């Protein structure tokens, strides 16, 4: 049955691998990729080779205004019948900065804006357009465990605070440092898990929400804002870890993401999928009070953009 899957972060890395798998293994899918600037047309041409159905909508995920415009554009095309029924959303894009001081156009700290609020605004504006059975997949990270076993000590663990604090710059000590930027990243991934749990409670039956952890994948552009030494290590040194249990190669991580999106990996709503299997996320990640508090804050932070796009 023809259907639409909306995906962020499909341009390169594991997202590109996953997109190729999705199109090859699900020929009835129309993949609607969210891309920045002129990269969208190139991505459509490359992914659409061989007759695959691919289109794009332009958006800057660091801007809620831009995200809202992209989401309403998708809604409009669904309503006009220009896209087949919506059965999937993949929030795969993510960012990590070398500080906790980078601010987006709406005044939110940029890690939180991209990794948390952009996904939430897409889900908020598309939630009544999903046709069951449907699956929302949000890419998270095992950095949210905050221990050596899961991140080899490379990323500090999350430091939870009120969402009003986390959403703004300077939420962590010495906010100008790389350590603060990495703390913002791990904390944003904990926040993403909280929202997945809330979606699982609140979305209608047949619309599942799943968190996907790709593990440590060297060679991606996640560290593109890091210092030159760290970028060199990610590209040239750390990929050797994929020969060990401590890291995952891009091909394997992308294939596992596609498995989750397509339902090959069976995972009930609210699940945490660690690469190829359902697992338990950290003990800290199960906190109904924090989950409800974060969802309420995310609704508040995105309200103006949701209302503005609804009025169009």
Digits of tens for pLDDT over the chain (312 positions)? 899 999 999 999 999 999 999 999 999 999 999 998 889 999 999 999 989 999 999 999 999 999 999 999 999 999 999 999 999 999 999 999 999 999 999 999 999 999 999 999 999 999 999 999 999 999 999 999 999 878 777 899 999 999 999 999 999 999 999 999 999 999 999 999 999 999 999 999 999 999 999 987 666 554 444 455 444 444 544 444 444 445 578 899 999 999 999 999 999 999 999 999 999 999 999 999 999 999 999 999 999 988 865 555
Q: Where are the beta strands (DSSP E) in 92-245?
A: 130-140, 207-213
* Per-residue pLDDT at 227: 54
Per-residue confidence (pLDDT) for residue 38, from 0 to 100: 80
**How much is the pLDDT for 151?**
74
**Given this model, what pLDDT does residue 142 score?**
94
Output the pLDDT for position 67.
98
Which residue, among 235, 240, 237, 241, has the nearest Cα to 222 in the 3D structure?
Answer: 235
Strand ranges of the sheet holding 130-140, from the earlier edge strand across to the other edge: 53-58, 29-35, 3-8, 86-91, 130-140, 207-213, 272-274, 277-279
pLDDT of residue 220: 54
- Predicted confidence at residue 217, as pLDDT, reads 66
The pLDDT value recorded for residue 229 is 41
């Amino acid at each position: 049955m023809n259907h639409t899957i909306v995906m962020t972060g499909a341009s390169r890395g594991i997202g590109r691998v996953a997109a190729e798998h999705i199109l090859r293994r699900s020929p009835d899918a129309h993949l609607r990729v969210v891309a920045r600037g002129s990269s969208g047309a190139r991505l459509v041409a490359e992914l659409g080779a061989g007759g695959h159905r691919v289109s794009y909508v332009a958006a800057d995920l660091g801007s809620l205004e831009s995200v809202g415009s992209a989401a309403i554009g998708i809604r409009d095309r669904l309503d006009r019948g220009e896209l087949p029924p919506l059965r999937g959303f993949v929030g795969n894009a993510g960012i990590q900065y070398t500080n906790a001081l980078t601010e987006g156009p709406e005044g939110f700290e940029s890690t939180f804006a991209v990794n948390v609020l952009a996904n939430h605004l897409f889900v908020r504006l598309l939630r009544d357009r999903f046709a069951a059975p449907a699956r929302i997949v949000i890419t998270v990270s095992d950095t949210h465990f905050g221990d050596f076993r899961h991140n080899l000590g490379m990323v500090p663990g999350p430091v939870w605070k009120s969402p009003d604090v986390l959403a703004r710059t300077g939420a962590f000590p010495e906010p100008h440092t790389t350590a603060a930027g990495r703390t913002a990243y791990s904390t944003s991934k904990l926040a993403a898990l909280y929202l997945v749990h809330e979606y699982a409670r609140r979305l209608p039956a047949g619309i599942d929400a799943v968190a996907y952890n790709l593990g440590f994948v060297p060679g991606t552009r996640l560290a593109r804002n890091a210092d030159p030494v760290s970028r060199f290590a990610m590209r040239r040194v750390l990929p050797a870890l994929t020969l060990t249990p401590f890291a995952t190669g891009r091909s394997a991580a992308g294939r596992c993401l596609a498995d989750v999106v397509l339902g090959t990996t069976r995972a009930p709503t609210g699940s945490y999928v660690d690469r190829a299997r359902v697992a338990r996320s950290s003990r800290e990640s199960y906190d109904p009070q924090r989950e409800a508090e974060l969802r309420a804050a995310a609704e508040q932070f995105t309200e103006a953009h949701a209302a503005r796009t609804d009025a169009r």
